[in-house]
Structure 1
Amino acid sequence: MKNTKDITLLGIMTAVIIIMLVVPGLGFIPIGLIKATIVHIPVIILAIVKGPKLGGILGAIFGIASILDKILRPTITSFIFINPIISVLPRILIGVVTGYLALYLRNKNINDYIKIAIPAAVGSLTNTVGVLSLIYLLYGQAYLEAIGKLGQSAALVIGYTALTNGLVEMLVSIVIASPISKALIKLDKRG
């Protein structure tokens, strides 16, 4: 970390993630029958503003906090999310992938909003694809059993989740992360 501002911003974003996980319903937006998670958005914002290193660190913090949340407040699928391969690895990748994409686009001659919206979308998709692919690979049938859909296709059930929740989460990530990231980038440039 380069300076006190980076450490402070990392601390603020860590606090936001913890609050979103601790306060019931705060990290999830109910949209009809779907609950779109927004807990990954601070990782996306930090990665866009500060790059892949801080994004990856916050992603790891998000993953570890997710594990602790599932241990302290178990659900029928907690056995999946206490596995760090599912809870930590994809969350680190959110920060790394988003951060590198934002750095790549930073000096491109395209609209500033698009420079931020694309990494926000890709960061959200990284979370969705990473987590759901690993659930499918490691726990496909056990997941179906836990959610009461045994006998159905794990690929179809998880794919449906990816299409519904994943697309909504991607759009919500763009809408929330883009203006906040843009404002923080302006503040960061001012010093």
Structure 2
Amino acid sequence: MERGLNKSKFSTRQMVVTAMLAAISIFLGLSGLGFIKIPPVNATIMHIPVIIGAIVEGPIVGGLIGLCFGLFSMYQAFTAPTVTSFVFWNPIVALLPRILIGVVSYYSYVGITKAVKKNPTVSGTVVIAFLSVVVALALKVLLPITVSYGIGAAVFVLLTFLFVKFRLSEKSDVLSVGTAAVLGTLTNTVLVLSLIYIVYVDRFAKAINISSSAAGKTIVAIGMTNGIPEALVSTIITVPVVLAILKLRK
């Protein structure tokens, strides 16, 4: 479990995994397959290789893959700019959140795995409740309160069912991998949009023809419309891939 921390040097396997997943992330960007068109900015699935690399090989590998993802974002912002691409000319916005995807994903996976094994019922319930509340509060920005809370309750029921079904089986990592995928995705979404607001709120508002006072709500709405699809797709892809890799290693 602590493989990412116990080795002072990269193994050949870690170097290969880093190169391979970084190449996949860049391919997704170059081919256009890594983007979900939700104007005024694009949702992305280019962070998924970062999460997978972090979980299976540790935070350093995840961070390096995230760095490659961020560097590609900068390259694309300069070579194929859109009205909002200027935000990714800043390396703090383009690189820092992407590097932290790997760090957050790895430690989320490790922490939740240990907690579930120590006290599966309590820790599983806490994680599920937390994710359900996050979903409900996020949707509250876009939907009526009753609808958003209803969806949050549905998410709680679904996750509870999955937890009960898998926690005692060989697929007990479903909860920890899925949560790591969600938190890794939200790290990217929340940090990028927060930095946009902090550093570029006026320029961003002007670029998409809204007032500066409305920029905050618009950025939150973008976070919801982009972050939720990204988190769902990330979980759907990451869980079976990581479980297959972990099973092969046993």
TM-score with structure 2 setting the length:
0.70
1:163 corresponding residue in structure 2: 224
Q: Read off the aligned partner of 2:95 and give its amino acid letter.
A: V
Of 20, 23, 34, the residue aligned with 2:28 is 20
- Partner deviation per Cα, 1:77-135 (whole Å, 9 max, x = no partner): 12111101100000011011111111223333253210100000000000000000000
Write out the 4+ residue segments of structure 1 that deviate beyond 4 Å after TM superposition: 30-35
User: What's the CA shift for 1:149?
Assistant: 2.0
How far did 1:31 drift? 7.2
Higher radius of gyration, 1 or 2: 2
- Any conservation in 1 of the 2:38–2:225 contact (CA below 8 Å)? no
- In structure 2, relative to structure 1, the CA distance for the partners of 1:32 and 1:75 (3 Å cut) is closer
Question: CA contact under 8 A between 1:51 and 1:102: conserved in structure 2?
Answer: no
Cα deviation, 1:15-49, whole Å, max 9, x if unaligned, reads: 111111111x3111347999531011110111111
Distance 2:101 2:46 in 1: 12
Counterpart code for 2:89 = I
Given the alignment, which residue of 10, 15, 37 partners 1:2? 10
Measure the CA separation in 2 of the matches of 1:74 and 1:113.
Answer: 38
Unaligned runs of 5+ in 2: 1-8, 118-166
Q: Is the Cα contact below 8 Å between 1:117 and 1:178 reproduced in 2?
A: yes
The match for 1:149 among 187, 192, 210 is: 210
1:126 alignment partner, one of 184, 187, 201 = 187
Offset of 1:172 from its aligned partner? 1.0
Matched positions, count: 188
| Change over 3 Å in CA distance of 1:68–1:170 after alignment to 2 | same
Q: Does 1:40 align with 2:47?
A: yes
What residue number does 1:77 align with? 84
What residue identity is the alignment partner of 2:54? A
| Aligned residue identity for 1:41 | I
Q: Does 1:64 align with 2:67?
A: no
Listed one character per residue, the Cα deviations across residues 32-76 of structure 1 (whole Å, up to 9, x for unaligned) are 999531011110111111121111111111111110111111111
Deviation for aligned residue 1:151:
5.2
User: RMSD in angstroms over aligned alpha carbons?
Assistant: 2.0
TM-score of the superposed pair, with normalisation by structure 1: 0.91
Which residue does 2:3 correspond to in 1? none
2:111 is matched with 104
Deviations 1:124-172 (A, max 9, x none): 0000000000000000111111122235511100000111111111111
- C-alpha spacing 1:32/1:22, structure 2 compared with 1 (3 Å): closer
